[in-house]
Structure 1
Amino acid sequence: MAATGAFAQSSVQIDGVVDVGYQAINYKGGKVNGIGNNGSSTSQINFRGTEDLGGGLKANFRVETDWNTVSNKGNTGSASTPVTLGNETVAAASTFGNGEIRVGLAGGFGSIDAGAVNYNTLGTYLTGQPFGTAIGSGFRTFYVNDAQGTSQVRSDNSVKYVSPSFSGLNASLYYAGKQTKANGTADAGTPGAYTAVGVKDTSFGGLGAYDMQGTTELGINYANGPLAASFSSLKQDYKQVGTGTTDSTVNTLGANYAFGAAKLFGLYQTNKTNTSSTNNKAMTISGTYTMGAVVLMAQVGELKADAGTYSGQKSKLVALGADYNLSKRTAVYFRAESIDDKARAMNGAVNPQQIGGAANVAALTDQKFGRTSVGVRHAF
Structure 2
Amino acid sequence: MKKSLLAIAAMAAASGAFAQSSLQIDGILDAGVQRIDYKGTTVTGIGGNGSSTSQINFRGTEDLGGGLSARFRVETDWNVVSNKANTGTTAASGAAPVTGSTFGNGEIRVGVAGAFGALDLGSVNYNTLGTYGVGQPFGTAIGSGFRAVAINDAASTSSVRAENALKYVSPNFSGVTVSLYKSFKQTKAGTGVAADGNYSSTLGAYDQYGVQELGLNYAGGPLAASFSTLKQDNEEVGAGTAPDYTVNTLGVNYNFGTAKAFFLYQTVKGEGVRESKLMTLSGTYTLGATVLMAQVGSLNDDVQDKKDKMISFGADYNLSKRSAVYVRYESIDDKLNYAKNPGSIAGTAGETTRTRTAIGVRHSF
TM-score, normalised to structure 2, is 0.93
Stretches of structure 1 that go unaligned for 5 or more consecutive residues are 190-196
Q: How far 1:85 moved relative to its partner? A: 1.6
Asked if 2 retains the 8 angstrom alpha-carbon contact of 1:73 and 1:87, the reply is no
User: What's the counterpart of residue 8 of structure 2?
Assistant: none
Coordinate RMSD, CA, aligned:
1.7
Q: Number of residue pairs matched?
A: 353
Asked if 1 retains the 8 angstrom alpha-carbon contact of 2:279 and 2:297, the reply is yes
User: What's the counterpart of residue 316 of structure 2?
Assistant: 323
User: What's the counterpart of residue 338 of structure 2?
Assistant: 345
Stretches of structure 2 that go unaligned for 5 or more consecutive residues are 1-11
User: What's the counterpart of residue 118 of structure 1?
Assistant: 125
Q: How far 1:183 moved relative to its partner? A: 5.6
* CA distance in 1: counterparts of 2:97 and 2:355, whole angstroms: 23
* CA distance in 2: counterparts of 1:367 and 1:204, whole angstroms: 38
Q: How far 1:141 moved relative to its partner? A: 1.3
User: What's the counterpart of residue 226 of structure 1?
Assistant: 222
Deviation digits for residues 223-276 of structure 1 (CA, Å, limit 9, x no counterpart): 011000000000000011011342100000001000020000000000101x23
Among 251, 265, 268, the alignment partner of 1:271 is 268
Q: Read off the aligned partner of 1:306 and give its amino acid letter.
A: D
User: What's the counterpart of residue 192 of structure 2?
Assistant: 186
- The SS at the match of 1:126 is helix
- The SS at the match of 1:6 is coil
Deviation digits for residues 168-221 of structure 1 (CA, Å, limit 9, x no counterpart): 1000100011111x262111x4xxxxxxx4x31x55231011011000000000
Matches within 5 A, 1:45-194: 45-77=56-88, 85=92, 91-180=98-187, 182=188, 184-187=190-193, 189=194
* CA distance in 2: counterparts of 1:88 and 1:323, whole angstroms: 39
User: What's the counterpart of residue 32 of structure 2?
Assistant: 21
* CA distance in 1: counterparts of 2:15 and 2:331, whole angstroms: 56
Asked if 2 retains the 8 angstrom alpha-carbon contact of 1:74 and 1:89, the reply is no
Q: How far 1:90 moved relative to its partner? A: 5.7
Asked if 1 retains the 8 angstrom alpha-carbon contact of 2:199 and 2:207, the reply is no
- The SS at the match of 1:23 is strand
* CA distance in 2: counterparts of 1:104 and 1:38, whole angstroms: 29
Q: How far 1:342 moved relative to its partner? A: 1.3
Among 243, 255, 259, the alignment partner of 2:256 is 259
- The SS at the match of 2:18 is helix
Among 202, 205, 208, the alignment partner of 1:206 is 202
Asked if 2 retains the 8 angstrom alpha-carbon contact of 1:18 and 1:378, the reply is yes
Worse-matched range after superposition: 9-18 or 138-147:
138-147
Deviation digits for residues 143-184 of structure 1 (CA, Å, limit 9, x no counterpart): 01001011000001000000000111000100011111x262
1:269/1:299 Cα in 2 relative to 1: closer, same or farther (>3 Å)?
Answer: same
* CA distance in 2: counterparts of 1:20 and 1:279, whole angstroms: 36
Q: How far 1:343 moved relative to its partner? A: 2.3
Are 2:360 and 1:375 equivalent residues in the alignment? yes
Q: How far 1:121 moved relative to its partner? A: 0.3
TM-score, normalised to structure 1, is 0.90
Asked if 1 retains the 8 angstrom alpha-carbon contact of 2:34 and 2:46, the reply is yes
* CA distance in 2: counterparts of 1:183 and 1:304, whole angstroms: 34
Identity, in percent, stands at 62
* CA distance in 1: counterparts of 2:208 and 2:234, whole angstroms: 8
